[in-house]
């Protein structure tokens, strides 16, 4: 409670300085356009209640959800279906969530080849759908045999990501590295580390993201997003205790610090729901949207 009051008074203090419009205000206010940054919310395919894709899109439009994040599995075969269903709507494809076979750090050449070919098919389909990118994880803990966590492996990853990034650019999209928590993937756990791999991959087609659920690895949501800066292409959101709808974990579900960084960065991409629910979607989904909008205002 003390912390919340402190946050509020800091925000009010900053607003007061900006309003003063003195030369000092211009110097101290790090983002004069902060209040203009729009919150663009996105849902995965099963987030909204509904029996069909069209019912779900209707529901999303009524709630003002402007992004859609489908899974990448079998994406090429679904491009037409998505294009038809999105026609005339105020919803765009935000990102594509994985869906490839194999993994990029596989030791087995056959598994690596499966990754290369299926990932490229998804990237091409993502480009057709106007997606900001295709989300990928270098290696889950369960994926074995995996290349060892060494300097050579990192150099190899950057080189491979470069190739993939350049391929994605040719299809007007990107590849987006997602750091996970250590229980799922010890290899890549922090947003700043993912951003450093983007930088060292030397391709504008290699980007990264943050997932508020996995960001339990971070000591500061604000610092994590600020460190990602220009490389930040997507954000996932869920409740922070049990990965349900934002708000289902009560006091834990505070996104204000991270959102403040997004606003200061002028982040113009999406915050996309990646979570289940313990309740009735007709209740928990609109409540989560309302909570995120209120916190965005506060940030």
Contacting residues toward Mg ion, per CB under 5 A: 211, 236, 274
Cα–Cα distance for residue pair 140/120, rounded to 1 Å: 20
Residue 126: other Cβ atoms inside 10 A = 28
Contacts of 5 (CB under 8 A, 6+ apart): none
Chain-centroid distance, C-alpha 258: 12
Minimum distance from residue 93 beta carbon to Mg ion (Å) = 16
**Least separation in angstroms between CB 238 and Mg ion:** 8
Q: Rounded to whole angstroms, what are the CA distances from 82 to 43, 60, 77, 233, 274?
A: 14, 15, 10, 22, 19
Cβ closer to Mg ion: 78 or 236?
A: 236
Q: Tell me whether residue 78 or residue 234 sits nearer to Mg ion (CB atom).
A: 234
Instruction: Rank residues 116 and 274 by Cβ distance to Mg ion and give the closer one.
Output: 274
Closest contact distance (angstroms) between CB of 142 and Mg ion is 16
Closest CB to Mg ion among 34 and 198? Answer: 198
Q: Dihedral sign for Cα 37, 196, 223, 30, please.
A: negative
Nearer to Mg ion among residue 116 and residue 211 (C-beta): 211
User: Residue 137 CB, nearest distance to Mg ion (Å)?
Assistant: 9
Q: Provide, rounded to whole angstroms, the least separation between the CB of residue 210 and Mg ion.
A: 9
> Least distance to Mg ion from the beta carbon of 298, Å?
24
Q: CA nearest 221: which of 246, 193, 255, 258?
A: 258
Q: Which long-range contacts (CB under 8 A, 24 or more apart) does 146-152 make?
A: 146/103, 146/105, 146/106, 146/107, 146/187, 147/105, 147/106, 147/107, 149/186, 149/187
C-alpha span between 115 and 110 (Å, rounded): 9
C-alpha span between 229 and 65 (Å, rounded): 24
Record the tokens describing residue 257, joined without a space.
Answer: 């610090």
Smallest separation, CB 75 to Mg ion (Å): 17
Q: With respect to Mg ion, which residue has the nearer C-beta, 34 or 234? A: 234
Q: Which is nearer to Mg ion, 211 or 248 (CB)?
A: 211
């Amino acid at each position: 409670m003390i912390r919340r009051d402190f946050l509020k008074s800091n925000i009010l203090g900053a607003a007061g300085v900006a309003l003063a419009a003195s030369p000092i205000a211009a110097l101290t206010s790090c983002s004069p356009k902060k209040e203009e940054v729009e919150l663009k919310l996105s849902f995965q395919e099963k987030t909204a209640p509904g029996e069909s894709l069209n019912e779900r899109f209707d529901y999303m439009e009524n709630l003002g959800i402007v992004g859609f994040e489908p899974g990448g599995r079998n994406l090429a075969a679904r491009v037409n279906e998505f294009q038809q269903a999105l026609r005339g709507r105020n919803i765009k494809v935000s990102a594509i969530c994985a869906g490839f076979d194999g993994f990029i750090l596989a030791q087995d050449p056959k598994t690596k080849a499966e990754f290369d070919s299926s990932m490229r098919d998804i990237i091409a389909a993502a480009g057709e759908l106007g997606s900001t990118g295709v989300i990928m994880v270098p290696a889950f803990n369960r994926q074995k045999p995996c290349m060892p966590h060494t300097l050579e492996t990192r150099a190899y990853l950057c080189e491979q990501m470069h190739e993939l990034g350049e391929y994605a650019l040719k299809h007007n999209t990107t590849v987006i590295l997602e750091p996970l928590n250590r229980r799922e993937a010890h290899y890549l756990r922090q947003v700043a580390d993912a951003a450093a791999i983007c930088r060292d991959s030397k391709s504008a087609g290699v980007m990264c993201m943050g997932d508020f659920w996995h960001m339990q690895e971070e000591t500061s949501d604000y610092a994590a997003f600020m460190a990602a800066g220009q490389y930040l292409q997507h954000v996932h959101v869920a409740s922070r205790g049990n990965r349900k709808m934002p708000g289902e974990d009560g006091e834990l579900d505070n996104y204000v610090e991270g959102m403040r960084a997004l606003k200061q960065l002028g982040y113009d991409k999406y915050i996309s729901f990646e979570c289940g629910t313990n309740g009735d979607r007709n209740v928990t989904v609109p409540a989560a949207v309302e909570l995120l909008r209120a916190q965005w205002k506060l940030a």
